[in-house]
Chains A and B, each alone.
Chain A
Amino acid sequence: GAGVSQSPSNKVTEKGKDVELRCDPISGHTALYWYRQSLGQGLEFLIYFQGNSAPDKSGLPSDRFSAERTGGSVSTLTIQRTQQEDSAVYLCASSLGSAGGYGYTFGSGTRLTVV
């Protein structure tokens, strides 16, 4: 597709369950960010991938969070043993490269609700 695709668009899960969120970046885009945005709050950095380099995981809030990017394309963000404070919109963004001259395209996000 022409844009960044995220699935599911909405996810309701019970506390303690694991969830997987998917991001399909634009074809050929090597840089990829994950953010989360709680209601009424700003964007919080989670993790960054660039090509085959080791990801910058410094924003992951706990060891319950992990992410991978297979083949330099699709990325999945996994949250284990979900907690109510994990409820937020999870956003993915991709770019042609990591240099400053490239803009990022965002997906529409996955709204996660932990009940």
Chain B
Amino acid sequence: DAKTTQPNSMESNEEEPVHLPCNHSTISGTDYIHWYRQLPSQGPEYVIHGLTSNVNNRMASLAIAEDRKSSTLILHRATLRDAAVYYCILYSGGGADGLTFGKGTHLIIQP
């Protein structure tokens, strides 16, 4: 069973903010919320991760709901280079059930 639910695709305009949602209603207390993205013909790239508090880094912001059952990845000003598949993953440790990639959200950026 999928631990996270994401929209299959989203579309946004260049230079506008993008909010990518992720639902994870069965999250456990030890699960961190990780986001990765995969640009066309490349390996996945780490974006951001968090546990309970909102997080910011140079790539994006992660907003985590108070009950932790959902989160939102925020790209503050999308560029064409941000077009990718974005994966939201619950991760508490390594192994087969660790970093498990679902289908993700295909983000399309319109110029």
Contact = CB atoms under 8 A, between A and B. Distances in A.
Given A33-B94, A45-B96, A56-B96, A103 B34 contact: yes
A18 B36 CA distance: 32
A98 B92 CA distance: 8
Contacts of B94: 31, 33, 48, 50, 56, 95, 98
B91 interface: yes
A91 B44 contact: yes
B53 to A, nearest CB: 13
Contact of B30 (A33, A100, A105): A100
A100 B32 contact: yes
Interface residues of B, number: 25
Interface stretch (A67-75, A77-85, A106-114): A106-114
Nearest to A57: B96
Interface residues of A, number: 26
A55 to B, nearest CB: 9
B92 A100 contact: yes
Nearest to B90: A100
B96 A104 contact: no
Given A103-B46, A104-B46, A106-B43, A42 B91 contact: no
B51 A101 contact: yes
Interface string B40-58: 0011111001010000000
Given A103-B34, A103-B46, A106-B44, 13 more contacts: A31-B94, A45-B96, A45-B100, A48-B98, A50-B95, A91-B43, A93-B43, A93-B44, A98-B94, A104-B46, A104-B99, A108-B43, A109-B43
Interface of B: 30-32, 34, 36, 42-46, 49, 51, 91-96, 98-104
10 contacts: A42-B104, A43-B44, A45-B100, A50-B94, A56-B95, A100-B31, A100-B32, A104-B46, A105-B46, A107-B43
4 smallest beta-carbon distances between A and B, as pairs: A100-B32, A98-B94, A106-B43, A43-B101
